[in-house]
Structure 1
Amino acid sequence: MAEDWRERYLKLADEHERKDGERDAVERELIRLVTRLCVAVSGLDPALDPHLERLRKAAKRGSAARLLEQAEELADALVHVSEDRVRPGVLQRLLEYSGRDARSSAQVMQLWGRVASDPATASDADLDRLAEVLGLTSAGNASPVAQSRGLLTRILGRPRVSGQASQNRMLADLLDSMEWPEALSESIDACCKRLESDDDDAWSGVLREVGELSIAAITRAETSARAAQSFLAELNQQLESFDLFMVAEAGRGDASRAAREKLGRTMDHEVESLSDTVRESVDLAQLQRGVLGSLQRMQAHVREHVEDENQRRAEAEAEAASLRSRLHELERATFDLRRQVAHSAEQAMCDTLTGLPNRRAYDDRVGQELARLRRFGEPLALLVLDVDDFKAINDTYGHKAGDKALVTLARTLSDGLRATDFVARYGGEEFVLLLTGAGQDDAARLADTLRESVAAAGLHASGQPVKLTVSGGLAMFAPTDAADAVFERADKALYDAKRQGKNRIVVA
């Protein structure tokens, strides 16, 4: 009975694990699809672009609740945009102007009512008919490309982007559709952000950077693979040696057992011979000779057995010493590999340009700080900083000047923080700071002090002074907050600071 329950439990556990894996796989594919769709339709309408950007960020961060919230906001915005395109009153006037009769106009108005009431469920036939009426296409002459366009293009009536901008978008779409190693995710995010800028030639620089990142990642992977391959080869060799030792030890055990059995039989034979001598001896001299002969033979057999055992023991000790030496070598190789893995893990948590922790390190640290907040109730603030006019610095003075600006900013922030605070390069020209033990007022004062320090840091490129300032958004954590939600608040405050004139801190 117990075995039946155990088997049922194991089957249910396996089934649950399999379904979890399938659900995770479907969720990953849906997130990839959402990301690709956001990139594909961005730029179709200025009113929709902010919603698409927030939806894409929510998808990349993997926050299901935030993703659903942004999807609902986009759906509402899409309906309003569609309604604003051609309102029924305007459509009625257009139909009257076109000379359609009352019956035909009523049919078109009914068609518009169906589409406008719920665009998400509108059929392709209704959309094509409405597009024909509005003059977006001619009946029967729609090109295959036009027929293949989706709901957004046909309703919003916006042409596809061409030229350099389309190359930026195509490359961004490609980067978003690919599965990147976690160590490269922040660099790829920064590349995608550059592709969303107004620089039409951004794709060429991003393409070179992605190539360099890929080569560096492949080089690191090959180095790690060679180290692991060498370690595994040595491990296999040591295991073979251990196996041979165990086989030899088993052989020596068999030989020792056989030798003991042989000695026992020999001693039995000698004792029996001694008994016969005692019975058959007729005088004391004959008895003495017989007993001494038997004892000498017994002694010889025992001595031979002891010598054989000593020889086997010496061989076993020599092989054991050799095996111990090889095991020590394996321990050293294991230690070296562990140290290399630890070094690789440390590098994966560090931004190569600035030397600061990266986004992956921030994700780990914010989880720790949130746990501390929930346990001890100490205040925790998140400050998101972004370099003002960073693209202008790159365009005017070159990318080396931009890199120098980021390094200067990183050094200034590190010097201005307390030992308990944390700063990381989140991606591109964006930095995140965790200010522990500081209430909102204290955190705001510290943030403003850091902003002033950056502005006074002094940056020169090509012998000319370069203005370096940052804008920031500050948000406080509550015990029930998720890290993504707080980041969203700080990020929105950051963009408010940009809109208010830059070089300032806005508290969410």
Structure 2
Amino acid sequence: MGFFSKSSDKNNDSDQDKWKDKYLNLLDAQDQTEKAFKVEQELLCKTVVRLSFAASGVDPQLEPYLERIRSHIKNGVDSTKLKTELEKFTDALSRLKSASASNHQEQGSDVSLLFDFLLQHYTSDKQQQNLNLLKKSCQPLDDPKRLFSAIAKIIDAEEARPVDNEPDELANEENQAYQNLIDPVFVSAQLVQLFEHIEIPEASTQKAQIIKQQLTSQGATLSFESTMDNVISLLIEINANNQPKQQDIDKFLNHISDQLTALGLAVTDSGIALMDASFSRSKLDQSVSDQMNDLQNRSSSATQLEPLKQAITSHISQITKEIQEHKQKEAVQREKYQCQLEELSQKIKTMESETGELQSKLIVANTNALRDTLTDLPNRLAYEERLKMEISRWQRYHTPLCLVVWDVDYFKKVNDQYGHQVGDKVLVHVASQFTKYIRRADFVARFGGEEFVMLLPHTNKHSAIKVAEKLRSLIEQSELTTNDTTLSVTISCGITQLFKGDTHETAFERADQALYRAKELGRNQCCIL
């Protein structure tokens, strides 16, 4: 009886354990399912948000719906509200599709009307045939550019056939249309300004002068295309002339880089040699120290003289041998190190020489870059650098500073009547007068074309007008003779003094206005503003 009772209790315990395990397994499975559900829910929410962003911009009417959907997802998923918003979005999308379909139908009717009109007006057999084929094959106005391009080709194929004896008339019409689109006079003036500001090689100077005359002559518009071809040819020639200079600079810089690399390697080798020598000496010191310690220990513990003598003799021989070997290695290393130092010294001298040459070349190049090749005056770039310095000094020390803008009178007439070569001589003449009579503290530069600028530091407007009038009078009294013709050259200028709060732009604008007033009053005079 008791035996069966115990067996029954054991079975009950076993069943309970099984149910307990099943329950725990179900809890684990439910927990994993919930985690998986959360991951899927987050993924779906991210997908909906990203799709809503992707749909943004498709149509303004959809934007409020997309915004509300994103807002619901960000604030926590509420299935009922989200479902409502999605249904509203679906309805709005359906309305847009219906409207789009009706638009397509309207476009289809528009295309039909367009072809009816074309078939009535273009009645040749070929045009009728091609238009009918295009009408059957084309879709509603999904791609109007392609449709109108095809229509234009069909029409032009019949109507734009040139008559054999009219090529010159068509060319003239095309040339006239071309000139209506582009103003040759404006383009020519801009190109002349370009040639005034770029450095032209001596070999191309004559060609550049001829092109300038073509650009400024009255008949330039008659051969505008050929003149443009000449301009392009000249620019290519200038570029080809500058390329060897750039290649030489690149080659020289590469050479310097190689030498610096070799120099760095030599220094590294010298450092390694010094480390090896130091390591070898430390090794010798350690060996001698060990052997001396061994001798000291043997001496203190020796009981017989003969073994001690042998040990001392052996150690001394070993120490002597190691010292000799070290001296030999050190001599070899010293000789090698001396050779490396001499080689390094020679490389440094060579680099110093080449660096000096490069410095000289750079100084010359910088000087050329800051000089006007025609007048040998500082150019606009040099003026801008000097201007920064003078304005900084004026702001710091509060000393007066004046700006003068000069312009050669009737310069265009000189170019038109005598040619650009004479015009260039006029500019050189004016520049030489400036250089000859300008004060040492003053600065003058060619600003561009027939315009010059002058900076007068430590000079107020009353003194500036005296300086300017003196220069104007000297140039008026001087004479320029060229090609057996004596020219009287006059100049006008506008003057302004810089005041607190001024910038270069505001001061230059005032000086330019003063120059304009001098021109209006008859030229050959100075005005101050």
Per the shorter chain, which TM-score range?
A: 0.5 to 0.7
Q: Aligned-pair distance for 1:172?
A: 7.1
In 2 relative to 1, CA 171–461 (structure 1 residues): closer, same or farther, beyond 3 Å?
Answer: closer
Given that 1:385 and 1:473 are in contact with CA atoms closer than 8 Å, whether structure 2 keeps it comes out as: yes
Specify the alignment match of 1:235 in structure 2.
Answer: 260
Cα distance change of structure 1 residues 358 and 273 upon mapping to structure 2, 3 Å threshold: same
Deviation, structure 1 residue 353: 1.5
Q: Distance in 2 between matches of 1:432 and 1:168?
A: 26
Q: TM-score, normalised by structure 1?
A: 0.57
User: In structure 2, how many angstroms separate the alpha carbons of the residues matched to 1:349 and 1:291?
Assistant: 83
Q: 2:378 aligns with which of 333, 339, 357?
A: 357
Q: Say whether the 8 Å CA contact 2:426–2:489 is kept in structure 1.
A: yes
Q: Write out per-residue CA displacement over residues 247-291 of structure 1, whole angstroms, 9 at most, x where no aligned residue.
A: 444444444444544555555666677778x53436xxx865664
| Matched ranges for 1:82-231 at <5 A | 162=179, 166-169=183-186, 184=198, 199=218, 201=220, 204=227, 210-211=235-236, 213-215=238-240, 217-231=242-256
Give the conservation status (yes or no) of the 8 Å contact 2:213–2:419: no
- What does residue 281 of structure 1 align with? 305
Equivalent residue number for residue 309 of structure 1 = 330
SS at match of 1:328: helix
Q: What secondary structure, in the 3-state scheme, does the structure 1 residue paired with 2:445 have?
A: strand
Out of 333, 336, 339, the position equivalent to 1:318 is 339
Q: 1:390 aligns with which of 406, 411, 417?
A: 411
Change in Cα spacing, 1:400 to 1:175, as seen in structure 2 (3 Å) is closer
| Aligned CA distance change for structure 1 residues 198 and 416 (closer, same or farther; 3 Å) | same
Cα deviation code 1:6-49 (max 9, x no counterpart): xxxxxxxxxxxxxxxxxxxxxxxxxxxxxxxxxxxxxxxxxxxx
Could you tell me how far 1:293 is from its partner in structure 2?
A: 5.5
Q: Which residue of 1 aligns with 2:365?
A: 344
Q: TM-score, normalised by structure 2?
A: 0.55
Q: Is the 8 A contact 1:471 1:498 kept in 2?
A: yes
Per the alignment, residue 84 of structure 1 pairs with none
Cα pair 2:277 2:330 within 8 Å, conserved: no
2:473 to 436, 441, 452: 452
Query: How far apart, in 2, do the equivalents of 1:173 and 1:354 lie?
Result: 20
2:263 equivalent to 1:244: no
The verdict on how the C-alpha distance between 1:375 and 1:217 changes in structure 2, with shifts beyond 3 A counting, is same
AA at the equivalent of 2:303? R
Q: Offset of 1:421 from its aligned partner? A: 0.6
Q: Is the 8 A contact 1:385 1:472 kept in 2?
A: yes
* Matched position secondary structure for 2:493: strand
Q: Secondary structure at the match of 1:352?
A: coil
* Cα distance in 2 for residues equivalent to 1:174 and 1:388: 21
Secondary structure of 1:162's aligned partner: helix
Q: How many residues align?
A: 342
Distance 1:404 1:427 in 2: 15
Q: Deviations over 1:174-226 (max 9, x none)?
A: 999xxx9xx84999xx99x9999785639738656645654454454333323
Q: Distance in 2 between matches of 1:274 and 1:295?
A: 14
Once the two structures are TM-superposed, the CA of residue 396 in structure 1 deviates from its matched residue by 2.8
Closer/same/farther in 2, CA of residues 310 and 417 from structure 1, 3 Å limit: same
Q: Which structure: larger Rg? A: 2
Letter in 1 for 2:494: G
Q: Find the partner of 1:422 among 443, 451, 454.
A: 443
Counterpart contact for 2:402–2:455, Cα < 8 Å? yes
Which residue identity does 1:279 align to in structure 2?
Answer: T
Q: CA deviation at 1:458?
A: 1.2
Q: Which stretches in structure 2 are left out of the alignment for 5+ residues? A: 1-154, 156-175, 202-207
Q: Deviations over 1:321-378 (max 9, x none)?
A: 3223323322333333233223222221111111111111111112222222223332
- Which deviates more from structure 2 when the two are superposed, residues 264-273 or residues 234-243? 264-273
CA change 1:459–1:333 in 2 (3 A) is: same
Structure 1 residue aligned with 2:497 = 476
- What's the secondary structure of 1:479's corresponding residue? coil
Determine the structure 2 residue equivalent to 1:438: 459
- Distance in 1 of aligned mates of 2:181 and 2:279: 81
Matches within 5 A, 1:489-504: 489-504=510-525
CA distance in 2, matches of 1:502, 1:207: 37
For residues 454-476 of structure 1, give each alpha carbon's deviation from its aligned partner in whole angstroms, at most 9, with x where no partner exists. Answer: 12221122111123221211122
CA distance in 2, matches of 1:195, 1:415: 34
Cα 1:201–1:255 change in 2 (3 A) is farther
CA distance in 1, matches of 2:473, 2:251: 48
> What amino acid sits opposite 1:201 in the alignment?
A
Corresponding position of 2:350 = 329
1:325/1:269 CA distance change after superposition, 3 Å: farther
- Say whether the 8 Å CA contact 2:266–2:340 is kept in structure 1: no
> Secondary structure in 2 aligned to 1:478?
coil
Q: Which residue identity lines up with residue 422 of structure 2 in the other structure?
A: A
**Distance change >3 Å, CA 415–CA 172, structure 1 → 2:** closer
Instruction: Report the identity percentage.
Output: 26
Instruction: State whether residues 401 and 455 of structure 2, in contact with CA within 8 Å, keep that contact through their aligned partners in structure 1.
Output: yes
Q: Distance in 1 between matches of 2:385 and 2:264?
A: 38
* Cα distance change of structure 1 residues 464 and 207 upon mapping to structure 2, 3 Å threshold: farther
The aligned counterpart of 2:528 is: 507
1:432 is paired with a residue whose SS is: strand
Q: 1:495 to 1:215 in 2, by over 3 A?
A: farther
Structure number with the bigger relative contact order (C-alpha 8 A, sep ≥ 6) is: 1
The one-letter code matched in structure 2 to 1:456 is Q
What secondary structure, in the 3-state scheme, does the structure 1 residue paired with 2:406 have?
Answer: strand
